[in-house]
Every structure is written in structure tokens, then in C-alpha cells.
A and B are shown apart, each in its own frame.
Chain A
């Protein structure tokens, strides 16, 4: 790392910038501090996610049930396999990046080109995979209904396997009509119609006696609650034991018995929800979808811009910019950013998919 070619007469003076503070070049040190600030931004998001998670600690959606798709394996329950694969791809692209940096130190232009290329490919595959995850998440799979209180009710069979709306809802030739721009004087926005109306779902449910309703509540340890001195907890435990068929499955979503299922659906359900957006989702509390879109979206944006930076550097390496400069430090700097993106993903993976 040579001094600049312009002579200012201050090169050897510390406060004139002659020395490199902390033994790092200006660009590298600023990249480190940018990464620090970005890390704090991401930890702000993840801590906010943790806040909401703790706020809804007994009713948060179970990630394994939400993210269980794998390409070309339709209908197969594959919890987390695809995200695990995405994680490997990103870690591997981090490896090729650090190999490119290493080759840069040795001034091996050819090797840097190859490794940078592989890094770009890895990043592109990751962004594509994330888009696919989003598509599945937005489209939804089974459909659900929402209650007056904004809670989600899902449908299961006697074994607790999820049941899609299309498996039991009836099709009434009723006159539902989507509200369109041409029909309203003050038209601003009219949500699109779901495949089934709430009456069709309710009617179909009444005809299919083996379908049950599953609420958002995760079954607590009933024995523990009963053993507690708190009369409120004891009453709650007894209520759950009366209403649920799986009161012994701690940590699973509570499934109502048929009588309670009918009652909840008839009395409480007001909306049909298919898939997810920022205001409601079929998986549970809307905040889950909000955080999913926001955190993986912000991370995906980082990956995308990282790929763009890598492409620029890749072409610079090809045209020999850094050969002329006799230093591949730029590769090292984008490398830092790229590893940071990987670092963030490690945390997102843990807190969104594992914990």
C-alpha cells in the first residue's frame, strides 16, 4: 500500500494523513465502520422481531410449518431444507470471495476473475431463491379464515394434518363482485376477492364433519399450569383441556374439538385469508409477515447490491484496473461487504427459521 503520488508535504505527519491510522487504508477502515453501522441497523430489526416474538410468545407461527417448500417437490413437507441450501450457497459464495481476495494478494489476475465470477453466480442464485421463497409465502398454501378479533383460524383433519380450503369449501354461484375502478366515484382501493367466500367455507365446514379448526395458541404445559397456585392459570388449563383435542402436545398449535370448531367458525369467522401481505396473512399474526418481508427484504436488497458491486469489480479485474494499480485492495473492500451480507444471513436464518 504505497503513499499517494501527489506530494502535499504532510505525508509523514500523523495528522496530515501520512500515517494510516490503525494500520488500515482509508477505504478499508470506512468500509469497516459502514459495516458496523449496518450491523446495528440489522440488529435493530432483529431485536424488534424479538420484541414482537416475546409479545406473542404463546401464539407466534411455527416457521417449520410456514417454510416447507422445496423446488420440484410439490406437496412434500420439507421444513427448512431449502433455506439450509440457500445458507450453504451463500457461505460458499463467501468462500469463493475470500479466495478471490487471497488470489488478489498474490496478484493472480486469472484466479481473481474465476473466483469473482463464482461469487457473483452464488449471489444471484441466492437472490433468486429468496424471490421464490417470497412467492410461496405470498401465495400461501392452505388458506385460512380470520376472526373478528383479527386472529387466524386454520383447518386440519382428525390427525392434525393441514387441510386446504379447496378440499372442503362448497362453490355457491353467489354474486360476489370485485369492486373495480369503473364502478366507484371515490374509488381508491378494493381488495381482490379470495377463491371462496366466508359463507362457502362455513357451509363446506358444516358438511365435512371430520374437519377441525386450529387456532393460533400454542399449547402450554397443562400439568404445570394445573399445579400452579394461580386460580386463573388453573381455570385456563381446564378450559384448554375441555376445548382442545391435543391438550397434551406442548408447543403445538391447539386444535379445537368439533363442537368448539363449529362454534368458533360460526360465531367468530368473518374473512377468508389466502396467502400473505402486509396487513393479513394465513399463517398467524400479521407482524410475522411484516417482519418476514421487511427483514429478508432488506437483507435481499443488500445481497442484490452486493452482487452489483461484485459485478463492477469483476469487470474491473478483467480490464486490468488493479493490475495497473498494483493492488487488489478494491476486491478486499467489496469482499468485506459481501462477507457481511453472509454474516447477517447467519443471524436471519437462526432467528427466522430456527428459533
Chain B
């Protein structure tokens, strides 16, 4: 535990992370409102570039919340890995399989000979 370090440093870090999270959220909101045409029209792995940016910024925020606010950075390596890797592996698997399946169902709806909008 790193509590013996200067306490004002810890408080300073909290405010720094708050500023960081606020700025990132603000950037997200501004991007979400203006929706730059370049980012909306460019696709990367079946998804708009804008959406990739949102997701990456979200993960960035999640990292700071977990590491700084939840003090994950002060936990032992074992606890950190047990919690973080478990979540990451299972969630990646879940997302990959469900999104692929959703895309497949979409193509069945679209390519099939049945009308859905009447």
C-alpha cells in the first residue's frame, strides 16, 4: 500500500483524474453532437470510425476510474489480474459471439424472401 506517500499528492491525483474524465466526456459529447462527416463515413471493421473513437475513449475512462478511483493500482498483482483479466476475457468472448450472430441475423432478414416492412 502506498499510503505513506505524501497525502496531498493523492488528493492532487484525484483532481487530475477528475479533470481528465471531464475533458474526455466533453470531447465525446461534442463529437456526438457535431458528428464529423469524415468519421461517420469511414468504416473500420464494420463500424464507423466515430464509434471506435467513442469506445476507445470509454475504455480509457474505465481504466482511470478503476486504477485511480478504485485504487486498483495499489492492489497486488494477483488481485489485479484475477479481477481484470477474468472480465476482459469473458467480455471479449461474449461480444465477439453476440455481435457476429446479430450481424448474421441481419443478413438473414435482409437477404431472405420475406418482407418485414409492410
Chain A positions near chain B (C-beta within 8 angstroms):
21-24, 29, 32-33, 35-36, 39-40, 43-44, 47-48, 50-58, 64, 79-81, 84, 87-88, 91-92, 94-95, 97-99, 101-102, 105-106, 147-149, 151, 215-217, 232, 250-251, 268, 332, 335-336, 339-340, 342-343, 346-347, 349-350, 353-355
- The 7 lowest CB-CB distance pairs between A and B, nearest first, are A54-B102, A51-B102, A22-B79, A350-B58, A51-B98, A84-B29, A23-B76
Q: Do residues B109 and A94 form an inter-chain contact, with CB atoms below 8 A?
A: no
Interface pairs (21), CB distance under 8 Å: A22-B82, A36-B83, A43-B95, A47-B99, A50-B98, A50-B102, A53-B102, A55-B105, A58-B110, A88-B22, A95-B15, A98-B14, A102-B7, A102-B10, A102-B11, A147-B118, A151-B116, A343-B65, A343-B66, A346-B58, A350-B55
Residues of A contacting B106 in the complex (Cβ-Cβ under 8 angstroms): 54-58
Most buried by B among A24, A232, A350: A350
Q: Do residues A22 and B76 form an inter-chain contact, with CB atoms below 8 A?
A: yes
Residues of A contacting B83 in the complex (Cβ-Cβ under 8 angstroms): 32-33, 35-36
Closest A residue to B84 using CB positions: A36
Contact with A along B74-104 (1 / 0, CB 8 A): 0110110011001100110011001101110
Residues of B contacting A149 in the complex (Cβ-Cβ under 8 angstroms): 115-118
Instruction: Check: B73 CB closer than 8 A to any chain A CB.
Output: no
Closest A residue to B60 using CB positions: A346
Q: Do residues B98 and A47 form an inter-chain contact, with CB atoms below 8 A?
A: yes
Give chain B nearest CB distance to A100 CB in angstroms: 11
Contact with A along B38-53 (1 / 0, CB 8 A): 0011000000000100
Give chain A nearest CB distance to B82 CB in angstroms: 8
Q: Do residues A40 and B32 form an inter-chain contact, with CB atoms below 8 A?
A: no
Most buried by A among B28, B55, B102: B102
